[in-house]
Amino acid sequence: MSIKHLIIAYVALTLGTICIVGIFSELRRRRFGPAHPEDRVFRCTKCGYVYTDDADVDRSRCSQCGKLNEPIVF
């Protein structure tokens, strides 16, 4: 083998190893990382109270004053 082929093989092997380690690291981070909350955040337009409710709820009733509110869009 020539020097050129040895250098190309070394660089390709090193880059492949770095890519594999990066992929496994990302998979591990996603598996053990904190899950995103499945709640929506609401702010009452009448009393200003901030609260959460389930993700499948489009409008939620304020627990302080009882007014129906839309979720906050961030």
* Residue indicated by tokens 């093989």: 9
Domain contains 74: no
The reply to whether 6 and 24 lie within a common domain is: yes
* pLDDT for residue 1: 79
pLDDT at position 29 is 85
CA distance 35 to 60: 23
Residues 3 and 27 in one domain: yes
Strand intervals (E) in 1-74: 39-43, 50-54, 60-61, 68-69
Question: Is residue 28 located within the same domain as residue 46?
Answer: no
One domain for residues 49 and 65: yes
- Please give the tally of structural domains in the chain: 2
∠ CA 26-28-31, rounded to 5°: 110
Tell me what the pLDDT averaged over the chain comes to. Answer: 90
Is 60 inside a domain boundary?
Answer: yes
Domain span including residue 26: 1-33
State pLDDT tens for residues 17-48. 999 999 999 998 888 877 776 889 999 999 99
Q: For residue 56, what pLDDT band results from cuts at 50, 70 and 90?
A: confident
